[in-house]
A and B are shown apart, each in its own frame.
Chain A
């Protein structure tokens, strides 16, 4: 079974700063996918970014980028030029390459952007 660990329960940064959220995972699979989901106070789960394990290039989506270290089983999320609207819970998630199984989530990091 896979496990996903987010070691930072809460982080707080000033608006416009850069922040990095950590995620490590454990798996014996070679083909898998990793995701970061954002959950604002509205409770809606929003996909932020995804990474396919067979791709060496780190994924980027506007201000969001990842540092994927496959050998170290590390998948951190970097948010540049942070905005007040980035305040939310952030969940790291693992999906096996088979596709049908559900995702395994970490416990989340509560990110607070201070004005």
Chain B
């Protein structure tokens, strides 16, 4: 199993450009999440999904959109990138088990917006 994978690993954008980050998991997990990590801030939840076709806002959703058209994929979109969105982005997934919050993380995407 590859676990949770993220594409791309690094990206540099100019202000105003758009891009999509792809997260894929092969563990048949129901729940998927997008976090951002900034220096000294820990991880903060952007959006999450409890199943195919459903999404919900997290703590810091502004400037981002998400879609979950297939159970195994969770896409994070930036329509008009801003320097404040420079961050490391992590995707995670979890299964609906007796320990539902145990999340498995991808390797992260480092995004720089100039």
- The residues of A with any CB-CB pair to B shorter than 8 Å are 4, 9, 33, 35, 42-45, 47, 50, 52, 91, 93, 95-96, 98-108
A-B residue pairs, 6 tightest by C-beta: A99-B100, A95-B101, A102-B45, A45-B105, A105-B42, A105-B43
State whether B100 touches A106 (Cβ < 8 A). no
Given contacts A105-B43, A105-B44, is CB(A47)–CB(B107) below 8 Å? no
State whether A35 touches B43 (Cβ < 8 A). no
Q: Which residues of A contact B74 (CB under 8 A)?
A: none
Q: Convert B76-114 into 0s and 1s, putting 1 for each residue whose CB lies closer than 8 angstroms to a CB of A.
A: 000000000000101010101001111111011000000
State whether A107 touches B31 (Cβ < 8 A). no
State whether A44 touches B107 (Cβ < 8 A). yes
> Does B2 have its Cβ within 8 Å of any Cβ on chain A?
no
The count of residues in chain B whose C-beta lies closer than 8 Å to any C-beta of chain A is 27
> Does B50 have its Cβ within 8 Å of any Cβ on chain A?
yes
Given contacts A44-B107, A102-B35, is CB(A33)–CB(B101) below 8 Å? yes
Bound-state CA distance A24–B100 (Å) is 22
State whether B105 touches A103 (Cβ < 8 A). no
- The residues of B with any CB-CB pair to A shorter than 8 Å are 31, 33, 35, 40-45, 48, 50, 58-59, 88, 90, 92, 94, 96, 99-105, 107-108
> B43 is contacted by which of A47, A96, A103 (Cβ under 8 Å)?
A103
State whether A52 touches B99 (Cβ < 8 A). yes
Number of interchain pairs (Cβ within 8 Å): 64
Bound-state CA distance A63–B90 (Å) is 27
> A107 is contacted by which of B33, B40, B50, B92 (Cβ under 8 Å)?
B40
Given contacts A100-B31, A102-B48, A102-B58, is CB(A91)–CB(B99) below 8 Å? no
Q: Which residues of B contact A47 (CB under 8 A)?
A: 102-104
Q: In angstroms, how far is the closest chain B Cβ from the Cβ of A94? A: 9
> B99 is contacted by which of A33, A43, A103 (Cβ under 8 Å)?
A33
Given contacts A91-B42, A106-B42, is CB(A43)–CB(B107) below 8 Å? yes
Can you list 20 A-B pairs, Cβ within 8 angstroms, ordered by A? A4-B42, A33-B101, A43-B107, A43-B108, A45-B43, A47-B102, A47-B104, A52-B99, A91-B43, A95-B100, A96-B101, A98-B100, A99-B94, A100-B31, A101-B101, A102-B33, A102-B35, A103-B45, A103-B101, A104-B45
